[in-house]
Amino acid sequence: MNRLLNKVAIITGASSGIGRTTAKLFAQEGAEVVVAARREHELDLLVTEIVQAGGEAKAFTGDFS
């Protein structure tokens, strides 16, 4: 697939729900994802999932409102 190869996606609210699913889908399509949310543990789990599936991800914890 790789429709997003060589692209970077910044996804806020990525620790659950639509944000988490979007991050995983974008990574599957080849994007390097930067995920952000308030819950550090959930972000770490997401990054681990993405990396184990062969993707690239970085996490930033905080309130981005």
Domain boundaries, the chain: 8-61
pTM above 0.75, yes or no: yes
| Confidence at 1, pLDDT banded by 50, 70, 90 | confident
Angle, nearest 10°, between helix axes 17-28 and 40-52? 20
- Beta strand spans in 13-63 (E): 32-37, 56-61
Query: Tokens 């409102």 correspond to what residue?
Result: 65
Assign 3-state DSSP to the chain and report helix, strand, coil percentages, each to 5: 40, 25, 35
Per-residue pLDDT tens over the stretch 19-63: 999 999 999 999 999 999 999 999 999 999 999 999 999 999 998
